[in-house]
Amino acid sequence: MKQQPYLYYCGLKQLASEMRGDEKIHMGIRPFGFHAGNILALVAYPFLLCEALEALQKHVNVEFIISINDYEQDALAGPDIRAFPFNIYPEFTSLKFAKDPNTGHIYVDHWQPIIEKNLLELKKYFPNVQFNFIRNSELKSEPEFKRLLLDTIRKLTGKIVLDEPLQFAGILCPTCHAAAGKTTVTDERISWKCDHCSYQCDGVYEDFDYWWHHKPLLIARLKIYQVDITLSGGDHYQEGDFEVRQGFIDRYYSNFKTPKMLFTPIMIAENGLKMSKSRKNMKFASARALINTLRGWDVEEFPWKSEYEQCIEDEKNDITLL
């Protein structure tokens, strides 16, 4: 029987009934802010899943693998990033190098400790749960990561959609870190020509940093981590990621068991749009308030309410603890 997605709270309860309690669960986040929608997916739903396991009298020994997606785009650019979520590429660079213009700090270095501190709060309630935080860039030397990244550049980049070429991966310029340019892979050699600073070079895979669209990038991570379950925001389900992931797995790893996929509701902001960093409509929330409301709610979209808000006096104190 073809696998089905596990959707929202009813899906969470069904998944918990099928789990042993020691599975590996993959989650990912762009390390650029930690708004209420992120808290819903990365804190509230893991808490509710562990709670459901405990209610079934199962040992809660799950390992959460959290991908810190520093290979993703600093900001989304493309012909129409809403209508064509596949046809997006970095506005300038990847989150590995993107800096806060006000402080000059690298975003990932600022936000990763905040993300980690929030998730580690779950250990107060479920002490045997494990967390493994891994930046995409740390996987560069993994053979499967290299193989899929280079194959993405060779086979999935350059197809024409609208008036713009599809881009799924590419080099970041070694001098200015810009993503705009031409990446060419020939056998084991890679050449680069930067559109921003005009730098040109030729080298091997290990010589460069990269950006990579999160959809094919995820498959490399699933293979490396050997996960049992993915836990993702509902926007990924709406974009067709359930079918896309299966398609990538069938293409690259026909003998690889597809993980079970749990999708959370989407947080809808006060303006009626999805809460999102790219839409600049972030709110900071109390994880406890979200958990108490989400428990039992089987909805595709979860509306923001003022009682969820946690006031933050200073960005440096943006810690939303349970």
CATH of the domain at 115: 3.40.50.620
Structure tokens at 151: 């194959």
Please state whether the predicted TM-score (pTM) of the whole model is above 0.85: yes
Quick check: is 36 in a domain? yes
320 in a structural domain: no
From the CB of residue 261, how many other CB atoms can be counted at a distance below 10 Å? Answer: 23
What was the pLDDT predicted at 162?
A: 44
Note whether residue 44 is domain-resident.
yes
Q: Which of 37, 51, 56 is nearest to 122 (CA)?
A: 51
Per-residue pLDDT at 160 exceeds 70: no
Nearest-angstrom CA–CA distance, 3 and 61 = 24
C-alpha 44 chain-centroid distance: 16
Contacts 24+ apart (CB under 8 A), 197-205: 197/173, 199/173, 199/174, 199/175, 201/174, 205/146, 205/149, 205/150
Q: 2 or 38, which is more confident?
A: 38
> Is the pLDDT reported for residue 210 higher than 50?
yes
- Asked whether residue 250 is domain-assigned, the answer is yes
User: Does 1 reside within a domain?
Assistant: no
What is the chain's mean pLDDT, rounded? 88
Total domains in the chain come to 1
Amino acid at 281: N
71-121 residue pLDDT tens: 999 987 777 766 666 677 899 999 999 999 889 999 999 999 999 999 999
**What is the percentage of the chain residues whose pLDDT exceeds 70?**
90
Residue 77 domain flag: yes
pLDDT at 229 over 50: yes
Closest listed residue to residue 118, CA positions, set 25, 62, 44: 44
Domain contains 30 = yes
Look at residue 31 and tell me if it is in a domain: yes
Q: How many other CB atoms are found less than 10 A from the CB of residue 263?
A: 25
Domain extent, residue 281, equals 6-313
Q: How confident is the model at residue 157 (pLDDT cuts 50, 70, 90)?
A: low
Region of 318 please: left (phi>0), alpha (psi -120 to 50) or beta. Answer: beta
- Going edge to edge, which strands form the sheet with 189-194? 181-186, 189-194, 200-203
With cut-offs at 50, 70 and 90, classify the pLDDT of residue 1. low
Percentage of residues of the chain with pLDDT beyond 90: 61
Tell me which residue of 258, 222, 210, 261 sits closest to 239, measured CA to CA.
Answer: 261
Lowest mean pLDDT: which of 59-68, 200-209, 233-242? 233-242
